Amino acid sequence: MHAASSSDLDNRSGHVPPADTGVRLSAAVTTHPRRRHEAAALAASQPGLGFEVIEDPDPDGPRSALRTARLAWRRTDPAATHRVLVQDDMRLAPGFGRLVHDAVAAQPDRILCLFTEWGSRTSPAVRLAALAGAGWVPLLDPYVPTTAVVLPAAVAHALAEFPAEPGEPDDVLLWRFAREHRLTPLVSCPNLAEHEPGESLVGNDVLLGPRHSVLFGGGAAPWARVLAPRMVPHLLLFEGIAVCQVPGADGGWTAVRADEFLAPAGLTIPDLLDRYAATASRRDPAGRIRRVIADSLLLQLWLTAFCFGLAACDLLRDLPPAPVSGKLHESSPSEPRVPRNCSTGDAVAAALRSARGRAAMETFAPGLLRRFVPRQRLAGLARLADPMVREAISDGCAHAGQAFDLFWKDSLQ
């Protein structure tokens, strides 16, 4: 397949071509013969990229995406600088080709993930990036989302020959390759691909629950800017326990129980329980939320949101004021801004009211609880839990302002 340049994309989309960046994209949709029609439709939706459709070479063999991924890596156009790979059950953002080209031009040497699901370890970092105005976050998960990914061509060719462990899936193999070569994959904010509902060929829909994007959108983004958080909160997928992820000595991330992370600042478990009870009394006096979410689990969601407020305060205190309005799909990132004399808490509150801030918060509760709440209740969960979540974020941010430096202890880094 022909490698698409910026002029190819602009000729198909009506954009005025910019100066040539030297980026040449070789794109493919990977699929199984059972979903050939869906793959062809996805490829046809992006004529400027010249997607080829690559099918599983052994469709009757054991379920595995690695066979198809390896073939797709191997078939990277020799003239291309980068390989764009999208699985057949994805929906792409408006202007996908142009957005990918611009993103690659800003980060030409990186593995770029254009999707992470709303409950992944990386998802809270993407939400923080939405508040802080960053275009990328480092990957925190022990796999690389291969549902929509861009690889430097040299990486794609090397992956085609990289040995796999027995039964290893493609996303874990790519993560292991990145670790061995000291590469840190980046995840986009916003995501440029969304996972369409449907049956997973490898059973992920049953094991993991619905896997929507943490923040799906389009429009211009600050692709040159990578968020560098000191802490990213998360609610563990299977355990349902709030943790704070901090950079580890090996270049990865270490999960510390949220109550242990907060203890150096003087917050004891009884203190946290009292704060949670007060918030629940104010924001859920009739117990409507607790008829959907068990009290013990709602506490962990509240604690995750409290730590999210702390992390947001850390990131926004030294940044220019955040935007407060605008449309998620607009082509210009310029928006009205918060007055420069506002407090960090005000800046966080304003960022939460921004277009991307609102969109990011819509996936907060349903994403983190997608394995614990019945699927039919997830659609209304964001609205139901939002008052508690936002107050917890505000409470965390306020406490950060009172005891900020006490949170960042060397023993937890």
- pLDDT tens-digit map of 206-246: 676 788 999 999 888 999 999 999 999 999 999 999 999 99
What is the distance between the alpha carbons of residues 347 and 345, in angstroms, rounded to a whole number? 5
Distances (CA, A) of 120 to 42, 112, 131, 247, 297: 25, 16, 18, 17, 17
Mean of all residue pLDDT scores within the chain: 88
What is the distance between the alpha carbons of residues 177 and 162, in angstroms, rounded to a whole number? 8
Q: What is the pLDDT of residue 249?
A: 83
92 near 191, Cβ under 8 Å?
no
Q: Each residue of 55-64: pLDDT tens digit?
A: 999 988 888 8
Q: What is the pLDDT of residue 218?
A: 82
Quick check: 50 pLDDT over 80? yes
pLDDT average, residue stretch 303-331: 70
Query: Rounded to two decimals, what is the model's pTM?
Result: 0.89
Q: What is the pLDDT of residue 203?
A: 52
pLDDT average, residue stretch 21-32: 95
Quick check: 333 pLDDT over 70? no
Full set of structural domains in the chain with CATH: 6-208 (3.90.550.10), 232-412 (no CATH)
Q: Each residue of 94-116: pLDDT tens digit?
A: 999 999 999 999 999 999 999 99
Of 194-198, 257-261, 342-346, where does mean pLDDT reach its minimum? 342-346
Q: How confident is the model at residue 199 (pLDDT cuts 50, 70, 90)?
A: low
Q: What is the pLDDT of residue 401?
A: 75
pLDDT average, residue stretch 406-412: 49
